[in-house]
Amino acid sequence: MEQRRIYIFCFVTLLFICSCSPAYKKYISGYHFNSNNPVPDYSNLDYWAANPFKKNLSDSIPEPLRATSIKDTGVDVFFIHPTTYIDKEGRWNASINDSVINAKTDYTTILYQASAFNEYRIFAPRYRQANLLAYYTKDTVAGREALWNAYKDVREAFLYYLEHYNNGRPIIIASHSQGSTHAIRLLKEFFDDNNKKSKLVAAYIPGMIIQKNYFNHLSPCKDSSATGCFIGWRTFKVGYEPDFVQKESGDCFVTNPLTWTSTDEYAGKNLNKGGVLTTFNKVIPEVADAQIHDDVLWAHKPHFPGSFLFRRKNYHIGDINLYYVNIRENLRTRVKAFKAVNGQ
């Protein structure tokens, strides 16, 4: 219960990291759909927040990175966005045609998180995401059902992607928060016990606990170039260990996004190539350090313009943004290693 309350508390501050103001509101009127069907139709590009066959905000590149950016259309990213549906008076699952939610999704997580992966083809489905209340409601049955309903959409999108878009390309799974809840389940179903594992470059799934006994065959990435494996972390301020973490069994996987190992070696902020926070076109070098402590990632207070106002100890909202450039560069390393192993 405490874990769920902390997740809703930290998500409320998401826009502090992802945008300076709710700019998405002025774009709401531009969201129109061709179908009144409440079920997503993944043959319709409207139901993809990101898709290489339409212009979208995941294509955005921070200005300092544009000169050195590459584009490899031979590798795909399937990105599952986090919760953007936080209406306390709403239904358990978001409407797929809700213009407010879709605009918020695109102008926050798709722009600020999915873009870290855009040197490759990004497919990010819209889905009837679970209301954030699903993570901390006392009605645990309803909460689980809401998350399951959301996963069913993600699953259908992935099946459509495999049949119509993949064409044998290597796959990167990427996600955050609620998206990682679904990504973990997707990896279990499609990659853990069947031959699709051979197509997996890596899975970047920060923001949720990854239990050590969950997968049968998939394993955590042991270094910066390992492939066919997964990576995950949950970021908190040094010295802070939330109650829900203290109550955990102590058997979760954690990756340090500055060293790409699972050791408790301290990684100084000098290893941080840059974060992308409130101003998308500004890359902030050495924004945060990182060190694994038990089942979480610890970082000292991030340094960015206005950080003197930042008082939170839970850095969940910055899991990707604080290590944006390191993630971007590590993708290249793993893709290169994957192609070498597979003779591509």
**Least confident stretch, 58-67, 103-112, 124-133, 300-309:** 300-309
Phi and psi, residue 296, nearest 5°: -135, 175
Mean pLDDT (whole number) for 248-273: 93
Amino acid identity at 169: R
Helix axis angle for 178-187 and 140-161, nearest 10°, is 60
Cβ atoms 259, 231 nearer than 8 A = no
Tell me what pLDDT residue 25 has. Answer: 62
Mean pLDDT (whole number) for 53-62: 98
Q: In the predicted model, is pLDDT for residue 18 greater than 50?
A: no
Tell me what pLDDT residue 309 has. Answer: 72
pLDDT in tens, 312-329: 899 999 999 999 999 999
DSSP β-ladder status, 48-50 and 120-125: antiparallel
| Residue 319 in tokens | 């899991």
Tell me what pLDDT residue 20 has. Answer: 36
Confidence class for position 189, pLDDT limits 50, 70, 90? very high
* Choice between 312 and 236, residue whose per-residue pLDDT is larger: 236
Report the percentage of the chain scoring pLDDT > 90: 73
Instruction: Classify the C-alpha dihedral 98-100-102-103 as positive or negative.
Output: positive
Task: Please choose, from the candidates 68, 66, 99, 72, the residue with its C-alpha nearest in 3D space to the C-alpha of residue 85.
Answer: 99
Report the alpha-carbon distance of residue 259 to residue 43 in Å, rounded: 40
30 CB neighbour count, 10 Å cutoff: 8
Task: Please choose, from the candidates 193, 127, 121, 185, the residue with its C-alpha nearest in 3D space to the C-alpha of residue 154.
Answer: 127
Confidence class for position 21, pLDDT limits 50, 70, 90? very low
Q: In the predicted model, is pLDDT for residue 30 greater than 80?
A: no
C-alpha torsion 169→59→49→184, nearest 10: 50
Report the percentage of the chain scoring pLDDT > 70: 88
Report the alpha-carbon distance of residue 265 to residue 122 in Å, rounded: 33
Q: In the predicted model, is pLDDT for residue 76 greater than 80?
A: yes
336 CB neighbour count, 10 Å cutoff: 15
Tell me what pLDDT residue 9 has. Answer: 37
DSSP run (H or E) holding 76:
strand 72-80
Cβ atoms 24, 31 nearer than 8 A = no
Close Cβ partners of 197 (under 8 Å, ≥ 6 residues apart): 191, 217, 218, 228
Q: In the predicted model, is pLDDT for residue 13 greater than 60?
A: no
Tell me what pLDDT residue 60 has. Answer: 98
Confidence class for position 306, pLDDT limits 50, 70, 90? confident
Q: In the predicted model, is pLDDT for residue 5 greater than 60?
A: no
133 CB neighbour count, 10 Å cutoff: 22
Q: In the predicted model, is pLDDT for residue 94 greater than 90?
A: yes
Task: Please choose, from the candidates 113, 112, 114, the residue with its C-alpha nearest in 3D space to the C-alpha of residue 279.
Answer: 112
Residue ranges per domain, the chain? 2-341
Tell me what pLDDT residue 49 has. Answer: 98
C-alpha torsion 114→117→120→121, nearest 10: -10
Mean of the per-residue pLDDT values for the chain?
A: 89
Q: In the predicted model, is pLDDT for residue 23 greater than 90?
A: no
| CA triple 126-128-134, angle to 5 deg | 130
Mean pLDDT (whole number) for 121-127: 98
Q: In the predicted model, is pLDDT for residue 104 greater than 80?
A: yes
* Choice between 42 and 86, residue whose per-residue pLDDT is larger: 42
Confidence class for position 343, pLDDT limits 50, 70, 90? confident
Tell me what pLDDT residue 36 has. Answer: 53
Mean pLDDT (whole number) for 97-103: 92
